[in-house]
Structure 1
Amino acid sequence: MLQAARHQAILEMVQKERIVKVSDLADALKVSAMTVRRDIESLSDSGLLERIHGGAKVLGETGTHEPGFELKSTQNTAEKQAIARAAAARVSEGMAVGLSAGTTTWALAQELVKGPAITVVTNSIRTAEIFYRSTSVHPRTDVILIGGQRTASDALVGPLSTQALKTINLDVTFLGVHGMDAQAGFSTPNVQEAETDRAFLASSRTLVVVADHSKWGVQGISSIAALDAADELITDPGLGQNGRTVLAEHVRRLTIAPL
C-alpha cells in the first residue's frame, strides 16, 4: 500500500475509533509496526492527529478548553436526544435524581419533564430552567438548584455546591462529562466542577454517565472518577469498537442508545 493510501486509512480509523493502537493499525494495513509509527509521526507533524504512547488519537482541545453552552448545545443533538430517552427510562416516580451540568443532561431534563413526579437536584442553571418552566405540567416535581460559582457552561461549582451536596441523598445521578479515556477516566476542563461532580457521586446510590461518542479519547485537566465508577454508561452508536471494548471492560453496564 502506498504511503498516501496508508495515511488516509490511518486518519479514517483514528476519526472513527478516536484512539487506535499501533498494533491494530499494522494488522489492518498489513504493514510493520515500524511503518505505522513512521506514518503516525508524519501525520502528527502535519497536525492531522495526535501521537500518543503506543498509538494515535484524534486531535482534541486542550485540557482546560471549555466551549460555551450555546455552542455545545448545537453539537451531536440527535445523539444526545437518543441518550436522553434511554436515560429517562431509568427514572421512576418519587426518585431523588441528581443532574450534573452539561448539554446531554440538559437534553435529559427535557425528557424528564414528560415523566413521573420526582425531586431533581442540579448545579445547572439551564437544567433548572427546564423544570421551572414545566411546573404547570408537573407541579409535584421539586427542583433544588445548588449554589456556587458560575462556569462557561452555566454550571454552579465550588465550595458552596460541594458542601450542599454533602447533606443530600440521591437515588441516582446522571453525570455529563467533557471527556472519557482509559487513563484519565471521566474528566472535565474545570477543576472546581470536578470537585462538585465527585460530590454528586458521593451522594448517590447509582451513577449513570451520559456521554456521546465524541467524548471518547478526550481528556480534561481534572479527572472526576475512574471508568469503573460508573454503574452504567449510556452513549450512542457512533462510539468506535476500541471505545466499546475498553468501556465494556470497566463500566458495569454499557448501553448504546439507538438513534
Structure 2
Amino acid sequence: MCWVGDSTVHSLLRQQKILALLKLHGVVSVGRLARAVRASEMTVRRDLAVLGERGLVRRLHGGAVLELGKTEESHFSNSRQQHVEEKEVIAKEAAALVSPGSVVALGAGTTTWHVARALAPRTDLTFITNSTNIALELDRGQSNIILTGGHFRTPADALVGPPSLWTLERLQIDILFLGANGIDLKAGYTTPILAEAETNAAMIRKASRVVVVADHSKFGRVTLATFAPIGAAQVLVTDAASPRSMLARIRRCGVQVMVAGRAPR
C-alpha cells in the first residue's frame, strides 16, 4: 500500500485553497495568499510553482492569477455575478466620461452591461451595441438604440459576423466601451472568440475614443484572439485591486489609467 504523508496532504489542501482564492478574487498577491492559508510567503511561492508547472496558475510579479484555457469563456449569466461591486464602481467612473449628445457604442460583456445600466437614464445619447442584453438594459423608451444585427452566439450573447461588420462600417462612434477577457502587455486585449475579436476591432476602427473597462481579474491573462494592442485604448478604467506595476507599464504606453475610486493620473 502507498501511504500519503501528512505534509503531502497539507500541501494539497493548501494548494486547493489557493486555487479557490484565485478563482474568487482574480489576481492575488503572495502576501495575501500566505495570510489566507496561514503559511509563509516562501511556502506559498513553492505552491504556486507547483501549480504553475501543472498549468493551473500564472505567476505575476508579486502574485498570481488562475490560468484559464485560452478558449474558455463563462456564460453571460454566470459572469454577471462575478466581481459585481468592482464592475459597478468601474461603470460609474466610465459613464462619467460620456459627453452630452454623444454616439456611444458598447461591446458585449458584463462590465459593459454595467456601463449601459449607468447610462440608461440619460435621454440625450444614441447607443450602438452588438449585445442583446445591453440593448434590453438600455430600452427604457427614451434612448435611440441601434442593434448591429449578426449571428447570435453564446456564451457572451454577442451578435457577430458579416451583418454586424456591415452595420459597423457605416456608423460613426464618439466613444466606445469595450471589455476584455484578458489584458497582457505583449498580447494586448484578448477574447476567446475569434468572431468577437473581429467585431471589437471593427468598433475600434470607427470610434473617436476607446475606453476599455475591466476588473482586476482580467490582468495577466491571455485568451485566444487579440483584438487590439494595449495602446489602442485612450482610457482604461479598472478597480483598486488591479496590479499596480502592470498599470504603471500600461500608462507608459500612453493610456490614461483610471482606478475607480481614485483620482485619475
CA contact (8 A) 2:57 2:64 kept: yes
Deviations 1:148-204 (A, max 9, x none): 112221110111111210000010101111111111100100000000000000010
Pairing partner for 2:112 from 88, 98, 105: 105
Q: Which residue of 2 aligns with 1:151?
A: 153
Between the two proteins, the alignment pairs up a number of residues equal to 236
Alignment CA distance shift 1:85-1:143 (3 Å): same
Unmatched tracts of structure 1, length 5 or more:
21-28
CA contact (8 A) 1:84 1:111 kept: yes
CA contact (8 A) 1:17 1:241 kept: no
Q: Which residue of 2 aligns with 1:228?
A: 231
- Normalising to structure 1: TM-score of the pair? 0.80
CA contact (8 A) 2:209 2:234 kept: yes
- Normalising to structure 2: TM-score of the pair? 0.78
Q: Could you tell me which amino acid in structure 2 is paired with residue 103 of structure 1?
A: T
In the TM superposition, what is the alpha-carbon distance from 1:30 to its structure 2 partner? 11
Higher relative contact order (CA 8 A, sep 6+): 1
In the TM superposition, what is the alpha-carbon distance from 1:240 to its structure 2 partner? 1.7
Partner Cα distance (2:72, 2:247) in 1: 26
* Percent identity for Structure 1 against Structure 2: 36
Deviations 1:42-98 (A, max 9, x none): 34246663369x998422211111110000000000111111111111112211111
Partner Cα distance (1:222, 1:241) in 2: 25
CA contact (8 A) 2:101 2:125 kept: yes
Partner Cα distance (1:93, 1:216) in 2: 32
Q: Could you tell me which amino acid in structure 2 is paired with residue 77 of structure 1?
A: V
Unmatched tracts of structure 2, length 5 or more:
1-9, 30-39
Alignment CA distance shift 1:126-1:40 (3 Å): closer
| Structure 2 counterparts to residues 65-84 of structure 1, below 5 A | 65-84=72-91
Q: Which residue of 2 aligns with 1:85?
A: 92
Is 2:184 the partner of 1:181? yes
CA contact (8 A) 2:26 2:217 kept: no
Runs of 4+ in 1 over 3 A off after TM superposition: 14-20, 36-43, 45-48, 54-57
Is 2:144 the partner of 1:142? yes
Is 2:214 the partner of 1:211? yes
In the TM superposition, what is the alpha-carbon distance from 1:107 to its structure 2 partner? 0.6
Q: CA RMSD in A?
A: 3.2
Alignment CA distance shift 1:253-1:196 (3 Å): same
In the TM superposition, what is the alpha-carbon distance from 1:258 to its structure 2 partner? 1.6
